[in-house]
Amino acid sequence: MKSRIVLSLVTLLFVGVGLSAAQKSAIKAGHLIDTATGAVTSNQIILVEKNPTTGRSTILEIGSNLTIPSDAQVIDLSNQWVMGGLVDAHDHLGITYKEEPENWNYYMTIIMDSTPLRAIQSMSTGFQKLASGFTIVRDLGNNGLYADTALRQAIEMGWVPGPTMINSGIIIGAFGGQLYETPEQESTVYPEYLNADTNDEIVKAIRRNIHYGAKVIKVCVDCQAYPYTIDQLKLFVSEAANAGQKVSGHVQTREGARRAIEAGLWSLDHDGALDEELHAMMVKKGIWRVGTETPKADFMRPMSDATWERRTKMLKNAYDQGVKLAFSTDADYYIPGFNRGELTIEFLRTWIAAGIPNAAILKVLTTNGYEISEMQDRRGPIKVGFAADMIATSQNPLEDINALRDVQFVMKDGQVFKKDGVVNGLDFFHNGPVYGWRKR
Ligand SMILES: [Zn+2]
């Protein structure tokens, strides 16, 4: 009896697997873009094979004269432009600021939304970003009590579809984090931020994050009137390196940015404080610029002309000087009419306005993204032996980068997530704010 049940289960599983995904897939790529160089090859076949143990697929062969195995699932993208997936190097999947008229209320969000609720929200956000072609996301804090780790694990276990995540756990900051508390409510800071003022507290906070699943360390360099010193920031770098990790620094003042550069952080996040001189220093040290360059648009939060001009001018300056650039958004808010993936790709506006060439923007969104995520040796580029992640558009992004606004095809770890512009189940997800305090 027992063996018969096992047999039927095996049969069911086998049929199930057969229906959902073949062991081999052959993708017919009409135009295959090497995003590192901008080179395009025509009529390539990408053969992908699933590892039966992990359920994940890698790229087996690429070529124009491959014989397609008879048992392979054929995916016809003959009329499309195929390339590696996109990367957002700075977002927060487990938060969408609550919408009140003229007010994205961050405090209300962190007080009222539990970590389990935010974990579910982060899954939804990741799903929406993957639907827009983002196969890797650096998720840099503000996710409650490690909702980011939970989502990363769930995606890695194959429970839910989502981007590959490089998550930071809880943001580490000097007393108060990025908040302005009252003495009566000092506990508000946690779990959005880990207070770490002394060297011992810094080491402890880093180890705590890594223990609970962080893959990169996020520090608020200068969020308070008492920024970290260069020596303290160096301690961040060495302690994270002790566990093989890098440090990303939120910077909002010129002095904070200067110290972060001197200390050799991996990336400087947010562009407001960066200028020509700091860019030159960043080039020398090989530090990534994660500018989170919010575009100026009528549907976005208001922005002065001066801020917009400075933003685009400085982005162009960084590009001209050869600073390592990553595409990044910080798009953790609700804009009616956009899901989080659609909102993410809107940030193209800034890169276009800055006058960056299409091929360079595409490289920033892909090749540079794989490098800042430290994935470039196994995931991202379409290469033999690499994870089977890829996207396709119906127009050529090298001719018009806006082609990326309409990603038609998304494959993640060999699984077809989106085809002919359609994602199964996307309509079930919604990017609206969770329970407002009046609507509970
Ligand atoms: Zn951020």
Q: What is the pLDDT along the chain (440 residues), one digit of tens a residue?
A: 444 444 344 443 433 333 344 699 999 999 999 999 999 999 999 999 998 887 789 999 999 999 999 999 999 999 999 999 999 999 999 998 765 554 557 787 888 889 999 999 999 999 999 999 999 999 999 999 999 999 999 998 888 899 999 999 999 999 999 998 899 999 999 999 999 999 999 999 999 999 999 999 999 999 999 999 999 999 999 999 999 999 999 999 999 999 999 999 999 999 999 999 999 999 999 999 999 999 999 999 899 999 999 999 999 999 999 999 999 999 998 888 899 999 999 999 999 999 999 999 999 999 999 999 999 999 999 999 999 999 999 999 999 999 999 999 999 999 999 999 999 766 656 565 554 444 43
d(CA 358, CA 402): 9
| Closest among 105, 165, 101 to 129, alpha carbons compared | 165
CATH number for the segment(s) 23-84+384-427 = 2.30.40.10
- In the chain, CATH 2.30.40.10 covers 23-84+384-427
State whether residue 249 is helix, strand or coil: strand
pLDDT of residue 18: 36
Q: Are 26 and 68 in contact (CB under 8 A)?
A: yes
Q: Please give the pLDDT value at position 3.
A: 43
What b/e sequence results for 322-336 when a residue is b if at least 16 CB atoms lie within 10 Å of its CB, and e otherwise? ebbbbbbbbbbbbbe
Give the CA distances from residue 127 to residues 109, 344, 406, in Å, rounded to whole numbers and listed in that order. 21, 13, 16
User: How many CA atoms lie within 13 Å of 4's alpha carbon, on the beta-carbon side?
Assistant: 1
Residue 438 CA, ligand 1 centroid: distance in Å: 27
Return phi, psi of residue 159, to 5°: -70, -40
Please state, in angstroms and rounded to a whole number, the distance separating the CA atoms of residues 47 and 27: 6
Q: What is the pLDDT of residue 73?
A: 95
CATH 1.25.40.10 at 86-372, yes or no = no
Cα 354 to averaged position of ligand 1 atoms, centre (Å): 22
Ranges of CATH 3.20.20.140 domains, the chain: 86-372
- Report the distance separating Cα 357 and Cα 351, nearest Å: 9
CA of 321 to the centre of ligand 1 (A): 25
Cα of 392 vs centre of ligand 1, distance in Å, is: 28
Provide the whole-model pTM.
0.92
- Residue 222 Cα to ligand 1 midpoint, Å, equals 14
Q: Are the beta carbons of 346 and 132 closer than 8 angstroms?
A: no
Compute, in angstroms, the gap from residue 81 CA to the centroid of ligand 1. 31
DSSP string, 233-247: HHHHHHHHHHTT--E
